[in-house]
Amino acid sequence: MKKTTIYGPFNQLLTMEGLPLHGHIADEEPEVLRDKAIVVENGVVIDIDSFEVLSKKYPRSEQALIDSNNLVALPAFVDCHTHICWGGTRVNDYAMRVAGKSYLEIAASGGGIMDTVTSTREASTKELIDGILKRAEQHIRRGVSTIEIKSGYGLTRDDELKMLRCIRAANEHTSAELIPTFLGAHIKPKDFKGTHREYLDFLLSDVVPVIHKEKLAKRADIFVEEGAFGIEESREYAGKLMKAGFDMTMHVDQFHPGGSKMAVDLGCVSADHLECTDQESVEMFSQSDTVAVALPGASLGLGMQFTPARKLLDAGACVAIATDWNPGSGPMGDLITQAAILGASEKLSIAETLAAITFRAAKALGLNKGTITKGKKADIVIFETDDYRNIFYHQGQLRPSFIVIGDQCISNV
């Protein structure tokens, strides 16, 4: 049985259709539709027109939001880089960091990623699933409908598989779409008795076949950095995963430059972090389809410089923004706030910032999402305001009133 709903009318509707995937976007470029409404049938957008026209065209449809005023509709947001499957807390890391200890010093003292690894290994399946669902619900309330989630806090065969299975299980109990990414190559765990290369070989021989068999993930990631994995071993590992059919992304250039060149050269779908990306790497992004993903939450959490998003856009790169939501370096998890702060720091147009958390972020995940388009699933975020620019002007303090995901309308009011 068909379920048809008319949402609107909206004083402003931005579909984000027809905008470029690469480079600069002026604020005048996105078309702002006035006094329009959206028809959603069985979770899919089927029509956009004036509310009056659509009411006559679909007389048996339900009508939603008609009593609200000053509504703005946009594509729901996409967070293309998170670590929201974890156990425990890293508040001690935060206290040490703001007292002046570096990320690497904290890790050497017993904190850092391995602290979360220990807690995640100890956590039950139910605890991990409940944690994912709690954080996904927070994201939904902030207008995010698509959430990438990495493993990487297990670092044994069984614990990495446990994380990926928990992500899959959580996906059955949330309105958001959860996209799993295999990050067994987060760091080499201290309890693995072998070299970094031997650990990567272990992942390829013992973990990846099970991921394939159970269809737990189509994406993979590796942390390329001092204290994690070197460039050449990462190149070899990534190449084997790509041959095995994985879409590859990488944590690169967070503390030292160089990794992004390898990521772009390999044709990774995205290269993430990039706080220390140099000009040569910027130019390489401009000639590639690899999405440059800025993670301002990590910069805020670590007290370091932002990804050079302005330089990347001016060079013609495709730039997305994600939260890096994790218990250590990026505990905030608020995409709008982070995007607004990065935009102010890097002098991004509001259109560029919005593109970076909608269709450009979707490209980093290989998804055809991030626009309001006839024939696509309804992923729509609705704010009560007279001007969509207020979303970023208020730097995350203006929250969505509604979010439409498929055939569901979730109210924040």
Is residue 110's pLDDT more than 80? no
Q: Are 222 and 237 in contact (CB under 8 A)?
A: yes
Q: Are 260 and 271 in contact (CB under 8 A)?
A: yes
Q: Give the C-alpha distances (Å, rounded to integers) separating 226 from 106, 222, 274, 345.
A: 14, 12, 14, 27
Domain ranges of the chain: 4-75+370-411, 78-364
Band of residue 66 on the pLDDT scale cut at 50, 70, 90: low
Residues 146-156 have a mean pLDDT of 98
Q: What percent of the chain has pLDDT over 70?
A: 99
Q: What is the token pair recorded at 374?
A: 């006839």
Q: Give the C-alpha distances (Å, rounded to integers) separating 9 from 38, 53, 65.
A: 8, 11, 7
Residues 6+ away with beta carbon under 8 Å from 147: 79, 82, 84, 136, 139, 176, 177, 178, 179
Q: What is the pLDDT of residue 412?
A: 86
Residues 169-190 have a mean pLDDT of 98
Is residue 103's pLDDT more than 80? no
Strands (E), 106-227: 144-150, 177-185, 219-222
Distance between the two ends of the chain, CA-based, in angstroms?
29
Q: What is the pLDDT of residue 97?
A: 87
DSSP secondary structure string for all residues of 63-91 = EESTT--SEEEEEPEEE--B-----S--H
Q: Are 272 and 279 in contact (CB under 8 A)?
A: no
Q: Are 36 and 50 in contact (CB under 8 A)?
A: yes
Q: Are 357 and 365 in contact (CB under 8 A)?
A: no
Least confident of 98-112, 135-149, 388-402: 98-112
Cα angle 250, 253, 258; round to 5: 95
Q: What is the pLDDT of residue 65?
A: 79
In tens, the pLDDT along 310-356 reads: 999 999 999 999 999 999 999 999 999 999 999 999 999 999 999 99
Secondary structure letter of residue 205 according to DSSP: I
Residues 276-288 have a mean pLDDT of 96
In tens, the pLDDT along 192-213 reads: 999 999 999 999 999 999 999 9
In tens, the pLDDT along 25-34 reads: 999 999 999 9
Considering the four listed CATH numbers 3.30.1490.20, 2.30.40.10, 3.40.1390.10, 2.115.10.20, the one that applies to the domain covering 4-75+370-411 is 2.30.40.10
Dmax over CA atoms of the chain, in Å, equals 70
Cβ atoms < 10 Å from Cβ of 67 = 6
Average pLDDT, whole number, for the chain? 96
Strands (E), 11-143: 12-13, 36-41, 44-49, 62-64, 71-75, 77-79
CA distance 145 to 142: 9
Q: What is the token pair recorded at 269?
A: 């779908």
Cβ atoms < 10 Å from Cβ of 2 = 7
Q: What is the pLDDT of residue 413?
A: 58
> Domain 78-364 carries which CATH code?
3.20.20.140
Is residue 55's pLDDT more than 90? yes
